[in-house]
Structure 1
Amino acid sequence: MKTLFVSLLLLATTYSYCQYDFSKLDDWMEDNTAKMGGRAYLILYKDGKIVYSHSANEMSRRQKLVGRVLARRQGKTADTEDYTVSSKQPIASCSKWLSAALVMTFVDEGKLSLSDTVGRFLPALSASGKGNITISECLSHTTGIKPPPLKESLEDMRGMNSMDDAINAIAALPMEGEHGKVFHYSNAGLQIAGAVIEKISGKSFGQLFAERIAQPLHMKHSDFGTGKVALPAGGANSTPEDYTNFLVMILNKGVFNGKRILSENSITEMQANRVTKDVRVAYAPAEAGDFGYGFGEWVMEKNSAGQSVAVTSPGLFGSFPWIDNDRKYTGFLMTFYLKNDGRNERYKDLKKQVDKCLK
C-alpha cells in the first residue's frame, strides 16, 4: 500500500507540475525553510489528487548540533534527513482539529450535544462551580477558565496519572470571566471534552481516536502517544500523508473515500467563528493574528457573508495545515521549530503563493 501511494504521488505530482507553475512556490520553500527550523515539507491536494509535494532541507551546522543535543538528552538518535510524506513528528496544536472532529462524531451519533453541560459527566467540575460550561465552549476555548502558562500547563498534564486527575486539576483553576464570554486559547477545554467522551464510551481517548478518526481515514502513523493521559489539545503525532487524509475529509464535507466520517452539519459547526464581538479575547497566540475561531480550528479567511473560506490549526512547532473551501484544496506544511516571530505573516504569504499557483 505504501509503495502504491508513493507511486501515485510521483505520478500525480509529475502531471500537476505540467498543469500548474509551481516555480514561485519552490522558491518560497527555499527562501523560508532556514527560518523554519531548517527542514520543511509541503504537500497540496486538489481535484482528487496530490498536486504538489516538495521537501526542503537548509539545516545549518548549529541547527544540526542542537538537534543532536536534544536527541541525546532523550536517548534518541538525531534525525537530520529530509522530511518525506511519511515523516512522523509531534504536531502540537494541529492536534486540536483532530480532537474536535473526534468529539463531533459523538454529536453526530446523538450521544452528545453541543449544548450539554460538562457537569453532567464530570462531577468535579460541578463541585468547583464549572459544571455549566458547555461542550461547545470547550471546543471553542470559551470556558472562562484561566489556565496557567502553556509550559506549566503541559508539565502539569504530563505528570497526571489519570484523566480524572487532569480534570481535578482543571477544576481547581480560577475563572477569568463568564463561560461563553471569554476566549482564552489553551489546553483546558479540549482536555475536558476528551474526558467527557471517555466517560460516555468507557474507552481511552487514544483508542477512540484510533477507531473513529485514524482507522477510517487510513492515518496509519498518527496517534496521541503512549502517556498515561492523552493531551487532546496538543499531544498528537502525525505525518504529511496522514494529516492530508484528514484535511481531504474536512474539504469533502465529512466524506473520505466514499465513506462518511462526519456529518456536513458538523463540518459547518466546526468552521463557524465563535469569537464574536461580544466575546472578550483574554489570550490568543501572536501567530493567530486576527483569525477567528471555531471548534479546534482558526477561521483564517471569511467571505462577505461571514462564511469561512479558509480554516487552519497551526501548531507550536510550526506545522501549518489549512483548507481553502472556495478554491477546493488542502495544504499541509510540516516543520519543527519554536521561534514564532513572523509566523502569521509567513502563513498568510505561503497561502497567497499557493492561491496564485492554483488559480
Structure 2
Amino acid sequence: MKKIIVLFMVLTGFGSARAQQPFAKVDQWLDEQVSGMGGRLILMVCKDGKVVYSHAVNDMGMKDKMLVKLIAKKQGKPADLSGYTASSRQPIASCSKWLSAALVMTFVDEGKLKLTDTVGKFFPILSQNKKGSVTISECLSHLTGIRSPDLRENLAEMGLVNSMEEEIGKIAAYPMEGQPGKVFRYSNTGLQIAGAVIEKISGKSFETLFNERIATPLEMKQTDFGEGKVALPAGGAVSTPGDYMNFLAMILNKGTFNGKRVLSESSIAQMQVNRISPAVKVSYSPAEAGGLGYGYGEWIMGKGVVSSPGLFGSFPWVDNEKGYSAFLMAFYLKSDGRQEKYAELRKLVDQALK
C-alpha cells in the first residue's frame, strides 16, 4: 500500500508540474490548432543561444494526407506522412524572401552593390521599357511600381523560362502601375530582379551564391533554392526548422552566427526599416499581413518584431526587444485568420518566456 501511495504522489506531482510548466499553454495551442493547419506542426523557440522549446504535433486527417501524397506524386517522390522534426524538409514559400534579401545585402556589405543602384544599369531592357530607374532598395521592399501578374500566373510563366535574363525580359514587358517607391505590391518581381542583378555581378548562379554566402556560414545544410533552370528568390527555397532557426539566430544577433559575421549590423538595421510610408499606396498585400510595415524581405510587425510568413503557413519571427526567435513549420493553404493565429501564438510564447 505504501508503495502505491508513493507511486500515486510521484505521478500526480509530475502531472501538476507538466500542467504548470511555462510552455503548457503553447502546447495546448498547438494541439488545438493542428487539425486546421495541415495536420502537422512544429514550433521551435530559441533564446540566449539555446533552443528553449521544441514541440511537434501530428494529427493528419484524410484530406491532409491526400494533399501530401498528391504533391509527392507530382515531385516523383515518396510521400512522407511522419510527424515534423527539426530536420523535416519542405518548401517554405515566402519565408524565402528573408533569405534572399539577406543574400543581396551581402553584396551591399562588400561594396559591390548599392541600395541606390538602378536596375537599368545592369539590364538595359528594363530602361527601354521605362523601368530602369527602379532601385535595388525598391526591389527588396516591393516598391518597384511594376504591376506583376498574380502568383499562379507568375509561377506558370517561370516554369517556361530558361534563364534569369529571359525572365527579366518578361518582367520588362509588365505594365507600370505607379511611380517606383510610391506603390507597394507584394509579389515575386522585385526579388527576381535583385536575384538577376547579383547573378550578373558575380557570374554565378543564384543557388550557388546562396549556398556560399548564406547556407554554408549558417550551417543550413538542408536548405537550397532547388536545381531548376531559374531560381525563384521570392518563394523557391526548401528548408528545415533547424536550418531556419540558424538564420533567425543570425538576424537576432545583428548579423553574426557562432562568432562569424555573415551580415553587417548596418545591413540588419536597414532590412528592418519600414518602407511603407503614408505616401505609399498599398496596391496589394496579403490579407494576413494587413496593416503591417515592410522592410527588405521581411514584415515589420512593431515593437521590435520582424517576420516573413509563407503561403503554406510557416511562420518565422524575431523579437528584438524580448531577445528571442521562433519558427513554426506548417503546410496548409487556407489563409483565413492567419494573422490572428500568429498573434495568439506570439502572445503565448512571450508569456512563457517571462
> In which range does the TM-score fall when normalised by the shorter chain?
over 0.9
The correspondence for 1:344, drawn from 327, 335, 339, is 339
Deviations 1:63-95 (A, max 9, x none): 223322333343322211000000001000000
Deviations 1:277-330 (A, max 9, x none): 00000000001121100000000123xxxxxx1000000000000000011000
Aligned to 1:52: 53
2:51 corresponds to 1:76? no
Distance in 1 (CA, whole Å) between partners of 2:74 and 2:259 is: 45
The structure 2 residue matched to 1:324, chosen from 319, 338, 349, is 319
What's the counterpart of residue 4 of structure 2?
A: none
Aligned equivalents of 1:254 and 1:301: distance in 2? 20
Once the 2 structures are TM-superposed, how far is the Cα of residue 19 of structure 1 from its aligned partner?
A: 11
Work out whether residues 99 and 232 of structure 1, in 8 Å CA contact, stay in contact via their aligned partners in 2: yes
- Structure 1, unpaired ranges of 5+: 1-16, 303-308
Find the counterpart in structure 1 of residue 267 from structure 2. Answer: 266
Matched, 1:145 2:146: yes
The alpha-carbon distance between structure 1 residues 68 and 107, as it changes in their structure 2 partners (threshold 3 A), is: same
Structure 2, unpaired ranges of 5+: 1-17
Q: Which one-letter code corresponds to 1:57 in the other structure?
A: N
**1:275 matched residue in structure 2:** 276
Structure 2 counterpart of 1:187, which letter? N
- What amino acid does structure 2 have at the position aligned with 1:341? D
**What SS does structure 2 have at the residue aligned with 1:62?**
helix
8 A Cα contact 1:64 1:80, kept in partner: yes
TM-score, normalised to structure 1, is 0.92
**Could you tell me the TM-score, scaled by structure 2's length?**
0.93
User: What residue number does 2:307 align with?
Assistant: 312
Q: Equivalent residue of 1:262, what SS?
A: coil
Tell me how far 1:353 sits from its aligned partner. 0.7
Cα distance in 2 for partners of 1:289, 1:33 equals 24
Q: CA deviation at 1:20?
A: 5.8
Instruction: Name the structure 2 match of 1:3.
Output: none
- 2:346 is paired with a residue whose SS is helix
* Cα gap change, 1:100 to 1:111, in 2 (>3 Å): same
SS in 1 for 2:349: helix
Please give the residue correspondences for 1:75-114 in structure 2 after superposition, counting only pairs within 5 Å: 75-114=76-115
Q: Aligned pair count?
A: 337
Give runs of ≥4 in structure 1 deviating > 6 Å.
none
Give the partner amino acid of 2:312. Answer: F
**Alpha-carbon distance, 1:48 to partner:** 1.3
Please state how far the C-alpha of 1:127 moved relative to its aligned partner: 1.1
1:18 CA displacement: 12
Answer yes or no: is the 8 Å Cα contact 1:20–1:358 preserved in 2. no
Task: State the one-letter code of the partner of 1:316.
Answer: L
Q: 1:287 to 1:142 in 2, by over 3 A?
A: same
AA partner of residue 25 (structure 1)? V
- Aligned pairs for 1:284-295 (under 5 A) are 284-295=285-296
CA distance in 1, matches of 2:71, 2:341: 26
CA RMSD of aligned residues (A): 1.3
- Tell me how far apart the structure 2 counterparts of residues 285 and 196 of structure 1 sit (CA, whole Å): 26
Alignment of 1:5-44 (within 5 A): 21-44=22-45
Q: Structure 1 pair 252/65, CA: closer, same or farther in 2 (3 Å)?
A: same
Flag the 1:256–1:19 CA change in 2: closer, same or farther, 3 A.
farther
Shift of 1:157: 1.3
Q: Secondary structure at the match of 2:282?
A: strand
Which residue does the alignment assign to 1:335? 330
**One-letter code of the match for 1:312?**
S
